[in-house]
């Protein structure tokens, strides 16, 4: 009898292990099926989030479902004396969920917590010169994305990103793009893709666009993508994501190939909202 119970337990364990994603998603669907943003939350997004106002009704509904999931599944922590409220969490969650509008749950698998500071903050940094001498100093940061699943954001700059929706700068878009990049286990500017063919295409188009930005900067030629994107491939992916969402028409005209590559990855075309 005991052996039978153990065998049954083992079978259940194996089934749950292999079908864990399906079981978890079924639980989430039941848990959040009837949950939606209330009128006050929707009005707040209409007031403070321009991209939400421009969305189609169908996309807005998808975004709202993602926001509900995100607010319940991710942890927010106020830092440096900042007293968090539900409105702050709502705006950060809404911006973050735009990037994964057409992605399935779980969103941002690695993200566990979001730390919010009132404004830009000091962070320790270590640097090494050519002689091997290591120095320690503090730098001013607006945000950070850590591979372990922590994001750090300046609340002031979160608001600025929504107040100026067409300047190509949005801190939440930038840092959460880094999290998408880091889902591969590395920070290389290449997010998780579906096939080897997709990786080959990404490498070709992405590298060409990255080098083109560096060339335009070196020779003082016009460019749509912010110069910070030339820092490295990881920053280029984060910066071009900001450009894609906030200056879609300009980016498509400047570089239609990279624009269509991003449409394929994010699975939506922001020009439809603009």
- The DSSP symbol for 168 reads S
Question: What would the mean pLDDT of 207-223 be, rounded to a whole number?
Answer: 97
Residue 15 pLDDT: 47
User: Which pLDDT value is given to residue 8?
Assistant: 58
Same domain, 255 and 200: yes
Angle between helices 256-266 and 233-246 (to 10 degrees): 90
Same domain for 73 and 158?
yes
Cα distance between residue 233 and residue 153, in whole Å: 21
Range(s) of the domain holding residue 60 = 38-163
Cα distance between residue 147 and residue 187, in whole Å? 8
> Do both 154 and 188 map to the same domain?
no
28 within a domain of the structure (yes/no): no
Give the chain's mean pLDDT.
90
Q: Does residue 97 fall inside a structural domain?
A: yes
Tell me if 175 is assigned to some domain. Answer: no
Alpha carbon separation from 234 to 41, 80, 151, 254, 261 (Å, rounded):
33, 28, 16, 21, 16
Higher per-residue confidence, 34 vs 166:
166
CATH number at residue 206: 3.40.390.10
pLDDT-based confidence at 16, cuts 50/70/90?
A: very low
Residues 126 and 52 in one domain: yes
pLDDT at position 23 is: 63
Q: Does the pLDDT of residue 18 top 90, yes or no? A: no
Whether residue 193 is found in the same domain as residue 243 = yes
pLDDT confidence bin for 132, thresholds 50/70/90 = low
CA nearest to 96, candidates 38, 42, 46, 51: 51
- Identify whether residues 110 and 65 lie together within a single domain: yes
- Give residue 35's pLDDT: 82
Same domain (yes/no): 138, 215: no
Token pair 């640097």 is at which residue? Answer: 127
Query: Residues 133-183: pLDDT tens digits?
Result: 766 768 889 999 999 899 999 999 999 999 999 999 999 999 999 999 999
Q: Are residues 216 and 154 in the same domain?
A: no
Per-residue pLDDT tens for 38-74?
Answer: 999 999 999 999 999 999 999 999 999 999 999 999 9
Domain boundary pick from 128, 163, 198? 163
Same domain, 152 and 240: no
Domains of the chain: total: 2
Q: For residues 271 and 191, state if they share a domain.
A: yes
H/E run at residue 122: strand 121-128
> Where do we find the tokens 């290389």?
188
Is residue 6 one of the residues assigned to a domain?
no
Q: 232 in a domain, yes or no?
A: yes
Answer whether residue 84 shows pLDDT above 60.
yes
Specify the CATH number for the domain of residue 79: 1.10.472.150
Question: Would residue 52 count as lying in a domain?
Answer: yes
**Residue 147 and residue 49 in one domain:** yes
In a domain, 246, yes or no: yes
For 208-229, what is the mean pLDDT? 97
Please report whether residue 147 resides in a domain.
Answer: yes
In the chain, the percentage of residues whose pLDDT exceeds 70 is: 86
């Amino acid at each position: 009898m005991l052996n039978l119970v153990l065998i049954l337990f083992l079978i259940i364990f194996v089934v749950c292990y292999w079908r864990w994603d399906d079981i978890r998603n079924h639980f989430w669907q039941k848990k959040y099926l009837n949950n939606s943003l209330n009128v006050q939350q929707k009005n707040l997004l209409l007031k403070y989030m321009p991209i939400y106002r421009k969305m189609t009704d169908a996309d807005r509904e998808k975004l709202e479902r993602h926001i509900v999931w995100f607010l319940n599944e991710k942890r927010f922590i106020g830092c440096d004396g900042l007293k968090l409220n539900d409105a702050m969490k709502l705006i950060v969650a809404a911006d973050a969920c735009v990037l994964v509008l057409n992605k399935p749950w779980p969103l941002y698998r690695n993200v566990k917590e979001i730390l919010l500071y009132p404004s830009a903050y000091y962070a320790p940094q270590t640097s090494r010169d050519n002689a091997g001498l290591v120095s320690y100093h503090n730098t001013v940061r607006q945000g950070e994305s850590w591979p372990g699943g922590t994001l750090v954001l300046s609340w002031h700059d979160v608001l600025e990103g929504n107040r100026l929706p067409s300047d190509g700068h949005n801190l939440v878009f930038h840092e959460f793009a880094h999290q998408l990049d880091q889902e591969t286990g590395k920070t290389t500017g290449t997010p998780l893709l579906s096939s080897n063919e997709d990786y080959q295409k990404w490498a070709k188009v992405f590298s060409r666009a990255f080098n083109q930005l560096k060339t335009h900067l070196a020779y003082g030629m016009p460019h749509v993508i912010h110069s910070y994107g030339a820092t490295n491939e990881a920053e280029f992916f984060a910066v071009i994501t900001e450009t894609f969402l906030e200056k879609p028409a300009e980016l498509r005209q400047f570089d239609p190939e990279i624009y269509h590559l991003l449409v394929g990855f994010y699975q939506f075309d922001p020009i439809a909202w603009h």
